[in-house]
Structure 1
C-alpha cells in the first residue's frame, strides 16, 4: 500500500497542497539567509556601542554558524524519532527566542551566546524542511522543490539586508533582532496549521494515528486512501532500531556515500561562505572602490536567487547529479577568471552575478541530492549531518582566508584556491553517482531529479 502511494506521488502532477508545503519550506529557509546576515549588518553599530575589538566582532559573526553546525549535527537527527514537523516547530521556538532575546542583550558575551542559540534552531530547521520538501514533491519536480529552498536563503540574505539597514538607521541595531524574532514567531502558527508531517516518517515510524494522518494527506492531494498501514520493516530496517542513529550512516551500504556527501558539503560551504563573505573586501583590495565592492557582493546574492531555481528546472530534464557537477565546475572556472576580469567593471559585475548563480546553485544541489542517499528512517540524520559538516567548512573558510591574507596572498590567489574547492566537490559528487548505482537495487533507475522514485517508504 505505502509503495503504491509513494509511487503515485512520484508519478502524479503536483497538487496545490504539495506546492504549498514546499512554499512553507522555502519561507523557513528565508530565515537562514536573514539570520546569517543580521549580525554582519549590525556589527558596526554593536562594535561602537560596546567598544569591541575586531577579534570580538569576529567571534560574534561566527557564533551563529557554530550554533547552526550544532543544530544540524546534534538536534536535527532527533527528527527521525519525533518527526520532522515537530522538530521544525521546536526549532522555530528556539530561534524565535534567541533572536528576540538578542535585542535585549546587555553585553557582547550575552549576544554571542544568544546568536549561538538562534543558530541551533536554524540548523535544526534546515535539515527537516529540506527533507519534507523532498518527500512531498513528485519525482519530476523534486529537484526544483528542494532547490527552491536555497532560493529562500538568497531572498532572505538580500531582502533581510535591506530591511536591516532601514531598521538600524531608524531605530538602532536592536530593532533588527527584534524584527527577526517577531517574524520567526509569526511562522510558527503557519507551520502548525499548514505544514504536514513527513509522509515517509509516518509510514516508517508509525506514530499514533499514523493511518488517519496519511489518509488525510492523501485526500488533500486527490489520492486514494490506505486501508491499513504497511509492514513497518519493508525498507529493510527496523525503525525502532535505526531511526535517528548516526551509526546507520556508516553501514556498509552508506559509508562511502556518506563520506562523499560530507566531503562535498565541506568543500562547497567552504567556497560559498568565502565568496559571500570576502568578495566586497577583496574587490576593494583588487582596486575597486568601496561602493563597487558592495555592488559586487549584492550582485552575488541577486544571482543566487536565480541560480537555485535554474538548477531545479534543469534537474527536471536532466540527472540532478550531472547538473550539480556541471555547476561546480563552471563555478570553479568563473572564480579563476573573476578578479582579472574586474579591470572592466561591466565584465567583472557580470561575472559576479554569474558566480552568484552557480555558487548558490551548488549549495541548492547538495541540499536536493542528499535526501536521495538515505532511507526514510535515517533521512533527517543524514541531511542534518551533511549540513552540519558543511557548516564546519563555513566556519573554517573566513579563518583560512584571513590567515592567507596575513601571509600576503593576493585576491587572485585566494579565488584560485576556492575554485579548487569547487572542483574537488564536483569530483566527490561524480563519485557519489557511481556509488549510488552500486547501492541502488537493480530494477530501480534514478529519477530525473535523482531522488526517491521507487524507494520503499
Structure 2
C-alpha cells in the first residue's frame, strides 16, 4: 500500500534553485519597497520649501518628517492570521490614496501632517511584509543576499529617487511633485493584485493544500509531480500563540528584546540623519543641490554596505550580530567625526560611510530578525522589530529638531546620531553565538 510523501515546506523552499518565479516576485517586491523608500524619505525635501511659509520651528519641522512614520505595530499579527498578500495589498492602497491627497490638499502644517500620518499606516506594512515574503521564498544559501536584492535595493533606490526629484524637479514644480510622482505606485498595485501569490509557508500553516501545491510547483517545477500527491508538514493553525507573548517567551525573550533595542536606536539614527541632512548641510555651507544630493548619496551607499554585509552574513550566519555591531560602530564614529571636521570632501566621505554602515546594517538586521522566528511568528517578529524601531524613527527627526532649537547649532545632530549608532552596536554585539536562534521549520523544529 503506497502512502503520500510528507514534505517540509521550509526545506522545499530552502533547497530550491533561483527560478523564474523567484525573480519575478523579487522584482515585484523591489518595486513595492522602492515606493516605500521614496515615500518615507521625501518629506526631508519638503522642509526647505515650507519651513518659512508655514512658520515652522525646528521641532515642528522634525515632526513634519516624523508624521509619516506612524504605523507598523500590529499589522504583523494581522498578516500572520489573515495572510501576507491581502495585508500588503491593503497597505499599498492606503499609501496610494493618501499620497495623492497629500499632493492636492496638504497645504498647511496640520493637514500635511494628518495626511502623512494616514499614509504611514500603509507604509508601515510594506517593508516588514516585503522582508517576510522574500525571507520565506529565499533559498537558504543566499537568504541574506536575496533579501538585499529583493527588498533593500528597492528601498535604497526609492531614497535615491526622492533625492533626485528634490534636486531637479522641486525647484520647477514645487514640493508637490514629490507626491504626484509617488502616485505612480497605483499601476504597480494593480500588477501586484494580478501577480503576487500568498506566502507558501502561510498556506502550509493554514492547510490550504491545493494552493500550496500549485505555488510550490511553480517555484520548483522539477518536483511538481511529487507535489501533486504530497502531504505537507505544517503547524496546527489553531495553536497559534499570542504573538507578543510568544516573542517574549523564554525561547525568544533575549533575542527579541535585543533586536527591539537595536532597531529603536538604529532607526532613530537613520531617520534623524536622513530627515535633517539636507538642512544641516546647507547650514554647513553646502549648496542647495549638494545638500539635497547627500540624501541620495546615503541611500545609494546603504545598498552597497548592506549587500557587503549580507554576503558576509551568508558565509557565516552565526556571526551576523558581530558583523552588525562592527558596521554600526564604524558608522557611529564616522558621524561623530563631523563635530570636529568640515569641508565638502569630508562631508561627502563621512555621509557615504554613514549610509554604507548605519543604514546598510539595518537592512541586514531586518533579515536577521525574519530568520530568528518560526513561520507562525515571522511576520509578527519583523513587524514588532520595525514597529518598535519606528518609534525611534518617529522620535529621531523630532528630538533632533528640539535639540537644535535648544542649542542653536547643528552639531547636536552628529552627537545624537553617532551616539545612538554606537550604543546600538554594543546592544546587538551582546548576542553571543549561543544565543542566536536557528531557523525553524513550519512545525517549529529547528532546521540545519
Q: TM-score range by the shorter chain?
A: 0.7 to 0.9
Q: Is the alpha carbon distance of 1:90 and 1:374 closer, same or farther for their aligned partners in structure 2, counting shifts above 3 Å? A: same
SS for the counterpart of 1:73 is: coil
Q: 2:56 aligns with which of 53, 65, 80?
A: 53
Residues 1:39 and 1:204: Cα distance change in structure 2 (over 3 Å)? same
Between the aligned partners of 2:13 and 2:418, the Cα distance in structure 1 is 39
Q: 1:30, CA displacement in angstroms?
A: 0.9
Which shifted more, 409-418 or 349-358?
409-418
Q: Does 1:40 align with 2:40?
A: no
- The aligned counterpart of 1:330 is 330
Q: How many Å apart are 1:290 and its aligned residue?
A: 5.5
Structure 1 residues 334 and 406 mapped into 2: Cα distance closer, same or farther (>3 Å)?
same
How much does 1:228 deviate? 3.8
Q: Map 1:96-245; keep pairs closer than 5 Å.
A: 96-105=96-105, 107-108=107-108, 109-148=110-149, 149-164=151-166, 166-181=168-183, 183-207=184-208, 210-224=209-223, 225-226=226-227, 227-233=229-235, 238-242=236-240, 245=243
Does structure 2 retain, via aligned residues, the 8 Å contact 1:30–1:156? yes
Q: Is 1:18 the counterpart of 2:17 in the alignment?
A: no
Q: For 2:169 and 2:282, locate their aligned partners in 1 and report how far apart those are by CA, in whole Å.
A: 27
Give secondary structure in 1 for the equivalent of 2:354: helix
The DSSP-based 3-state class of the residue aligned with 2:232 is coil
Distance in 2 (CA, whole Å) between partners of 1:401 and 1:172 is 26
> Is contact 1:63–1:113 with CA below 8 Å preserved after alignment?
yes
Counterpart contact for 1:76–1:381, Cα < 8 Å:
yes
* CA pair 412-168 structure 1, distance change in 2 beyond 3 A: closer
1:402-417 paired onto structure 2 within 5 Å? 402-408=401-407, 414-417=413-416
* Structure 1: tracts of 5 or more residues without a match: 441-445
Q: Deviations over 1:400-428 (max 9, x none)?
A: 32333344386556424432322222233
Matched residue SS, 1:103: helix
What's 1:387 paired with? 386
- Separation of aligned partners in 1, 2:99 and 2:10: 38
Structural mapping, 1:348-363, within 5 Å:
348-363=347-362
SS across alignment from 2:141: coil
Query: CA, structure 1 residues 174+292, in 2 after alignment: closer, same or farther (shift >3 Å)?
Result: closer
- Describe how 1:301-316 pairs up with structure 2 within 5 A: 301-316=299-314
Cross-structure match for 1:443: none
Q: Deviations over 1:54-73 (max 9, x none)?
A: 3555443221012xxx2x10
Q: 1:405 to 1:102 in 2, by over 3 A?
A: closer
Whether the aligned pair in 2 keeps the contact of 1:242 and 1:377 (CA below 8 Å) is yes
Looking at structure 1, the residues matched to 112 and 398 of structure 2 have their Cα atoms a distance apart, in angstroms, of: 21
User: Once structures 1 and 2 are overlaid, which stretch shifts more, 265-274 or 210-219?
Assistant: 210-219
SS in 2 for 1:265: helix
TM-score by length of 2: 0.86
CA contact (8 A) 1:10 1:453 kept: no
Q: Which moved more, 1:369-378 or 1:310-319?
A: 310-319
Once structures 1 and 2 are overlaid, which stretch shifts more, 407-416 or 140-149? 407-416
CA distance in 2, matches of 1:285, 1:164: 18
CA pair 138-268 structure 1, distance change in 2 beyond 3 A: same
* Contact 2:403–2:412 (CA under 8 A) maintained in structure 1: no
Cα distance in 2 for partners of 1:314, 1:435 equals 19
Distance 1:419 1:250 in 2: 29
- Could you say if the C-alpha distance between residues 89 and 221 of structure 1 is closer, same or farther in structure 2, counting changes exceeding 3 Å? same
Number of aligned residue pairs: give it: 434
Alpha-carbon deviation of 1:89? 0.9
Distance in 1 of aligned mates of 2:64 and 2:403: 21
Structure 1 CA distance for aligned equivalents of residues 211 and 197 of structure 2: 13
1:243 and 1:115 map into 2 onto residues whose CA distance is: 33
